[in-house]
């Protein structure tokens, strides 16, 4: 084998694993993002760090550098139910940051003992005796092949590792669309929007560094149409869009049942969103990416004789928590229950 471990994808999950693995392993990591700068692939994201992700940073002894943070930091989410016209404000302790800078910062923490290929696309993973053969394409579109004993799929919602190795373990995917506008609202705000006529997931907006970002997750069929019609509806609620400066789109995993979370087998491990680890109720996924990477690093570093079994077992609490988020999402996206919760005004903070 050329390598002990091949990590495919360096988002929060892959970068954390690459950082936490013992230097005694020979590790290669392939990532389609560039090493630095604004070129290349950017992950569309709300850029909000949840308290669970903050806890993972505490455990891993990491502090966020100030140049990754965005302005302003907002402490509440204004929640809209367009079917009942109810609006509530709920306190949130998110840290708002620039997602692309965050990803590049996490990549920069990977030790030099790991071989990292940036701007590189993994195309194929084939089973061979004692391991896997991985085909990747570099920035000049030249193909290379390497072999590794363990493969870690940390390549997000549209994971090539999951698609190629586990075609029977498909997971529900929605299309996430985000548009950036010049901020024109007098008070920047963060919002969460429910409208079952547009999507049975949800939409959001956030003000960052002079931009107003509006996004939503929609079923694949007619996603663009629903996105535009939702924008139109929100204008009457005081949303000021103007001309979009940029539009971003990607697939987002929207888990629906316990079986959607899949951790891999036969020396392949799925971590982060590739494993389906994302909250169905908020689409918060960074904490699960960090936590699953941390769990896997401990198992591999300990030289566990059955690492797949151990990873499956040690992610049970994580999967149960994610399952509770599926239940929560079902309640929040059901108009009757949502109306009941919002009408109760429990935890709502009245603004002056």
Ligand X SMILES: Cc1cc2nc3c(=O)[nH]c(=O)nc-3n(C[C@H](O)[C@H](O)[C@H](O)COP(=O)(O)OP(=O)(O)OC[C@H]3O[C@@H](n4cnc5c(N)ncnc54)[C@H](O)[C@@H]3O)c2cc1C
Q: Looking up tokens 């091949």, which residue turns up?
A: 6
User: For 150, what's the count of Cα atoms within 13 Å in the CB-facing half-sphere?
Assistant: 25
Angle, CA 143 vertex, CA 138 and CA 149 arms, to 5°: 95
Query: Among 70, 102, 104, 156, which residue interacts with ligand X (rule: CB under 6 A)?
Result: 156
Q: Which stretch binds ligand X (CB under 6 A): 6-14, 181-189, 226-234, 262-270?
A: 6-14
Binding track, positions 110-129, relative to ligand X; x by CB under 6 A: -----------xx-------
Packed helices 286-301 and 307-314: angle between N→C axes, nearest 10 degrees: 140
> Considering the rule CB under 6 A, would residue 272 count as an interface residue with ligand X?
yes
d(CA 231, CA 217): 13
- Is residue 273 part of the contact set for ligand X (CB under 6 A)? yes
Q: If binding is defined by CB under 6 A, does position 294 make contact with ligand X?
A: no
HSE, side-chain direction, 13 A CA sphere, residue 258: 9
Per-residue contact string for residues 176-215; x = within reach of ligand X by CB under 6 A: x-x------------------------------------x
Torsion, CA 109, CA 114, CA 120, CA 123, rounded to 10 = -130
Rounded Cα distance, 34 and 40, in Å: 6
351 Cβ neighbours under 8 A, 6+ residues apart: 89
- Which residue number is nearest to ligand X in terms of Cβ? 285
The full DSSP string for 211-250 is: EEEEEEEE-STTHHHHHHHHHHHHHTTT----S-SEEEEE
As measured in angstroms, the least distance from the Cβ of 289 to ligand X is 4
Contacts of residue 108, Cβ cutoff 8 Å, sequence gap at least 6: none
Eight-class DSSP state of 97: B
**Count of residues in contact with ligand X, rule CB under 6 A:** 40
Q: For residues 268 and 286, which CB has a smaller minimum distance to ligand X in the complex?
A: 286
Cβ(253)–Cβ(173) under 8 Å? yes
- Classify 182 as helix, strand or coil: strand
- The reply to whether 322 sits near ligand X by the rule CB under 6 A is no
Q: Does 329 bind ligand X (CB under 6 A)?
A: no
Query: Which of 21, 29, 283, 342 forms a contact with ligand X (CB under 6 A)?
Result: 283
If one asks whether residue 285 binds ligand X (CB under 6 A), the answer comes out as yes
Work out how close the CB of 272 gets to ligand X at its nearest, in angstroms, rounded to a whole number.
2
Instruction: Give the shortest CB-47-to-ligand X separation in angstroms.
Output: 5
Tokens for 318, please give them. Answer: 């994580």
Residues within window 38-97 making contact with ligand X, judged by CB under 6 A = 41, 43-48, 50, 53
Measured from the CB atom, is 249 or 339 closer to ligand X? 249
Q: Which of residues 22-41 bind ligand X (CB under 6 A)?
A: 30-33, 41
Q: Choose between 42 and 304: whose C-beta lies nearer to ligand X.
A: 42
The nearer residue to ligand X, 73 or 344, going by C-beta atoms, is 73
Q: Quick one: which of 285, 277, 211 has its CA closest to 248?
A: 211
Residues that bind ligand X (CB under 6 A): 8-14, 30-33, 41, 43-48, 50, 53, 121-122, 154-156, 160, 176, 178, 215, 250, 252, 272-274, 278, 283-286, 289
């Amino acid at each position: 084998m050329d390598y002990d471990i091949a990590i495919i994808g360096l988002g929060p999950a892959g970068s954390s694993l690459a950082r936490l693995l013992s230097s005694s392993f020979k590790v290669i990591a392939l990532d389609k993002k560039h090493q630095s700068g604004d070129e290349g692939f950017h992950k569309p994201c709300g850029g909000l760090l949840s308290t669970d992700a903050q806890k993972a940073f505490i455990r891993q002894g990491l502090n966020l550098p100030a140049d990754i943070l965005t302005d302003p930091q907002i402490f509440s989410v204004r929640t809209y139910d367009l079917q009942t016209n109810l609006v509530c404000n709920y306190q949130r302790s998110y840290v708002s940051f620039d997602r692309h800078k965050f990803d590049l910062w996490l990549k920069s923490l990977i030790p030099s003992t790991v071989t990292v290929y940036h701007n590189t696309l993994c195309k194929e993973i084939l089973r061979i005796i004692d391991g896997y053969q991985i085909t990747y394409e570099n920035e000049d579109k030249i193909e290379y092949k390497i072999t590794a004993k363990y493969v870690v799929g940390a390549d997000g919602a549209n994971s090539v590792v999951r698609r190629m190795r586990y075609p029977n373990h498909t997971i529900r995917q929605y299309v996430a669309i985000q548009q950036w506008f010049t901020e024109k609202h007098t008070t920047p705000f963060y919002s969460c929007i429910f409208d079952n006529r547009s999507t049975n997931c949800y939409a959001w907006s956030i003000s960052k560094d002079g931009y107003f970002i509006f996004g939503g997750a929609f079923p694949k069929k007619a996603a663009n149409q629903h996105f535009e019609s939702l924008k139109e509806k929100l204008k009457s609620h005081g949303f000021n869009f103007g001309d979009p400066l940029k539009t971003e789109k990607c697939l987002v995993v929207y888990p629906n049942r316990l079986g959607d979370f899949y951790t891999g087998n036969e020396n392949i491990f799925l971590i982060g969103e590739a494993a389906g680890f994302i909250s169905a109720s908020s689409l918060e996924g960074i904490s699960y990416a960090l936590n699953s990477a941390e769990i896997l690093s401990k198992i591999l570093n300990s030289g566990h004789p059955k690492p797949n079994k151990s990873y499956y077992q040690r992610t049970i609490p994580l999967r149960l928590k994610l399952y509770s988020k599926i239940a929560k999402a079902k309640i929040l996206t059901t108009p009757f229950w949502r109306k009941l919760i919002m009408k109760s005004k429990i935890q709502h903070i009245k603004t002056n």
